[in-house]
Structure 1
Amino acid sequence: MTKLKTICFAVTTAALAGCAAMPRHYDDESSRALNLARAGGVYDQDLRDSPDGTRSYRKGLLVSALDLARLATSLDAPLRHLTGTQTLFFNATDIMMTPDNPSARPSLMGWMPESLAANEDDAYDHYVAVVDEAITQAAESMAITATKLTDVKTPEIDGHPLMLWSVTVERYGCADSNCIIAYNIQQPNHWKTPSYVIGREAASYNIAANHPEKYSRLVFRQSGHERTFPVDEFYGAVSAGMPPWIVMYFPPNTVIQDGEPLPYPVLYEQGQQLMFREPDHE
C-alpha cells in the first residue's frame, strides 16, 4: 500500500509539473490574482487565497520557502570596495539566486498575442521592447532617472541576458548605483491563452513561471539600510505601462510599501495591485 501511495504521488506531481502553464478555465471560487497566477505557472499549493488576502502563503513553509527575502539582505551591505558597475553585477547575481518553488519568487508572466510576432525569437524581442517602454514610462511618471546599462556583462537565463537599469533619484536615496531594476525574458513558447486574459488572442507567445530556472522576472533592488524607494508604486507604474496580457507576481516580503515589506503575496495587472483574497459571494 505504501509503495502504491508513493507511485500515485509521483504521478500526480509529474502531471502537475507538465500542466503547469496549461490554459485553465476561470475558477469562480478563487480570486482573479490566483486564477492568473495558476494560469501563468505558479501552481504549487503554498500559494492560496485567504479571507482578507494577508494569510495567502502557507505558514509552515513561509520561512524555508522564502529564501529570496534572506538572500536580498546581502544588498543591505554592498561590498564598498567595488566599483558601481561591479556592485551592479554582484547584485544581479544575487537576484538570480531564487528558490525553485514558483510561488516563492518574483515572476513575470505573459501571453503575447500571436499576431504581434512572426516567431518565438521575434516574440522575445517584442517582450523586451514592451518591458523597456514600461520602465521608461514609469520613470517619467514618477520623475526618476532610469538608465538602461548596455555595457555591463550579465549572466544569461535561457540563453538571454539579464537586463539592468540604474535608478537615480535623490529624494529616495538612490545614488552611486545602489538602486537597480533587473529583468529578464525567457524564450517565449507558442501556446494557447486563457479566456480571461485581457487583450488576448486564442494563440499566444507565452512566458510562464513554472520552470525551476528558465522563468522571467522584474525586480527593483535598493541596497543600504534605508528602504525609502516606493517599490509598490514603481511596480504599479510599470504594470500600468505594460500591455494587459502581462502580469507580475511577487511573494511575501519582496514588495516594499511605506518603507516596510508586504508580508503577503500580490499580483499586478494593468497597474493594479491584486491580493489573493477569497471572492465574496452574495
Structure 2
Amino acid sequence: MKRLAPLTTAVLAAALAGCAATPRTYNPEESRALNLARAGGIYDMDLRDSEDGTRSYNKSMLVPLLDLASLATSFDAPLRHLSGSQTFLFNATDIMMTPDNPSARPSLMGWMPASMATSEAQAYEQYVDLVDQAIRLAANDMALSATKLSNVETPEIDGHPLMLWSIESTEHGCGAGQCVLAYNIKTPNRWKSPAYVEGAEPESYNIAANHPENYSRLVFRQADEQLSFPVDEFYRTISGALPSWMVVYFPPGTVTQDGEPLPYPVLYEQGQRLMFKEPDHE
C-alpha cells in the first residue's frame, strides 16, 4: 500500500475531524495561540510551540515560503482606480498568494455567534461591517487617515471582492497611495464553536484558514519598507477593536516591530499578541 505524504496525511486528518462535526477541545499541552490556530484550520505541522516562542516554525520552510520577491503577484493591467504606488503594493506582495500550508499565510479566523445572522450571506455582511468598523476605530486611535477604496475593482475570493483601504500618515511615511490594508472574508460556514473561544456560542458562522485558496486574510503593506510604520501596533489595535471571537494569525517575517520583521509566528486576540510558547513557559 502506498504511504501518504505528511501533508496529505494532515489534510486527511483535518477532513476526518470535520466529518465528526464536533468542536475542538482545548489541549492543555499546547499554547492558547496554537489551540486557536488549530481550531481555525491551521493544522499543518510546520507551526508548533517552542520554549520561548521564537522557534515555533520549521526554519527550512522560511526562505521559500516567506520571500516576498518570490511571492510577487502579477496582473495583466493595473487595478482600475488605484494609483501607481497602490497597484505596485498590491501586485508585489503576498496579499493574494496561497502557499500550500495554512501556517505560511496571514489568516483572519472567526466564530460569529449563530444568533447574529439568519444566513451565510447575512453573516458575510456582518463580518465585513465588523472588520471595517475595527479598521476605522484603530485608525482613529492611532491618528491615521483610513479611507475604504469603494470604487476599486479587485479580484474575487470565494465569490467576494478583496477589500482595500488607503492608510495615510505623515508621521509614519504613508503619503497618498503609499500604504494599503487589504482584507477579504470568505463565505462563512455554519459550524460548532470551540468552548474556549471568547464570546462564542455553541453554533457559529465560521471563517477558517484551511482551504487552499478560499481563506480570509488581513495584510498591511507600505511602499517604502525602509520606513517604520508601527505594523505590530496597528494589528494589535485592529484586533482589540474586533469581536472577541475573531483572531488574526501571521507567519514569520510578515509583522514588523520597530522596523524589524518578527522572525516567528504570532496570533492576535483581543488586542494581545500571542506567541506560540510551550504552556510551561507562558
TM over 0.5: yes
Q: What is the number of residues matched between the two proteins?
A: 274
Kindly indicate whether residue 277 of structure 2 is the aligned counterpart of residue 241 of structure 1. Answer: no
Measured in 1, the distance between the counterparts of 2:249 and 2:243 equals 15
Q: Check 1:29–1:153 CA distance in 2 against 1; reply closer, same or farther (3 A cut).
A: same
Alignment of 1:1-282 (within 5 A): 3-4=1-2, 6=3, 12-19=9-16, 23-67=23-67, 69-71=68-70, 84-93=82-91, 94=93, 95-280=95-280
Which AA in structure 1 matches 2:199?
G
> Could you say what the CA RMSD is over the residues aligned between the two structures, in angstroms?
2.6
Which AA in structure 2 matches 1:85?
S
Measured in 2, the distance between the counterparts of 1:168 and 1:8 equals 46
Please say if residues 65 and 101 of structure 1, whose CA atoms lie closer than 8 Å, have aligned partners that are also in contact: no
What SS does the aligned partner of 1:172 have? Answer: coil
Measured in 1, the distance between the counterparts of 2:224 and 2:238 equals 23
Report the alpha carbon displacement of residue 90 of structure 1 after superposing the two structures with TM. 4.3
Task: Write 1 or 2 for the structure with the bigger share of helix.
Answer: 1
Percent identity (aligned): 61
What SS does the aligned partner of 1:36 have? Answer: helix
Measured in 1, the distance between the counterparts of 2:35 and 2:221 equals 28
Report the alpha carbon displacement of residue 224 of structure 1 after superposing the two structures with TM. 1.6
Measured in 1, the distance between the counterparts of 2:100 and 2:281 equals 35
Please say if residues 92 and 154 of structure 1, whose CA atoms lie closer than 8 Å, have aligned partners that are also in contact: no
What SS does the aligned partner of 1:280 have? Answer: helix
Q: Check 1:226–1:92 CA distance in 2 against 1; reply closer, same or farther (3 A cut).
A: same
The residue aligned with 2:76 is: none
| CA deviation map 1:189-212 (0-9, x unaligned) | 000000100001000000000001
Measured in 1, the distance between the counterparts of 2:170 and 2:266 equals 28
Please say if residues 193 and 204 of structure 1, whose CA atoms lie closer than 8 Å, have aligned partners that are also in contact: yes
Structure 2: runs of 5+ lacking an equivalent: 74-79
Please say if residues 154 and 162 of structure 2, whose CA atoms lie closer than 8 Å, have aligned partners that are also in contact: yes
Q: Check 1:156–1:258 CA distance in 2 against 1; reply closer, same or farther (3 A cut).
A: same
Q: Check 1:20–1:242 CA distance in 2 against 1; reply closer, same or farther (3 A cut).
A: farther
Measured in 2, the distance between the counterparts of 1:234 and 1:72 equals 23
Which AA in structure 1 matches 2:150?
T
Please say if residues 89 and 154 of structure 1, whose CA atoms lie closer than 8 Å, have aligned partners that are also in contact: no
Which AA in structure 2 matches 1:108?
L
What SS does the aligned partner of 1:138 have? Answer: helix
Measured in 2, the distance between the counterparts of 1:252 and 1:102 equals 13
Q: Check 1:19–1:241 CA distance in 2 against 1; reply closer, same or farther (3 A cut).
A: farther
Report the alpha carbon displacement of residue 232 of structure 1 after superposing the two structures with TM. 0.1
The residue aligned with 1:77 is: none
Please say if residues 84 and 176 of structure 1, whose CA atoms lie closer than 8 Å, have aligned partners that are also in contact: no
Q: Which moved more, 1:140-149 or 1:16-25?
A: 16-25
Please say if residues 7 and 44 of structure 2, whose CA atoms lie closer than 8 Å, have aligned partners that are also in contact: no
Measured in 2, the distance between the counterparts of 1:247 and 1:114 equals 17
Which AA in structure 1 matches 2:156?
E
Report the alpha carbon displacement of residue 86 of structure 1 after superposing the two structures with TM. 4.5
| CA deviation map 1:241-263 (0-9, x unaligned) | 00000000000000010000000
Report the alpha carbon displacement of residue 19 of structure 1 after superposing the two structures with TM. 4.7
Please say if residues 240 and 272 of structure 2, whose CA atoms lie closer than 8 Å, have aligned partners that are also in contact: yes
TM-score, normalisation: structure 1:
0.90
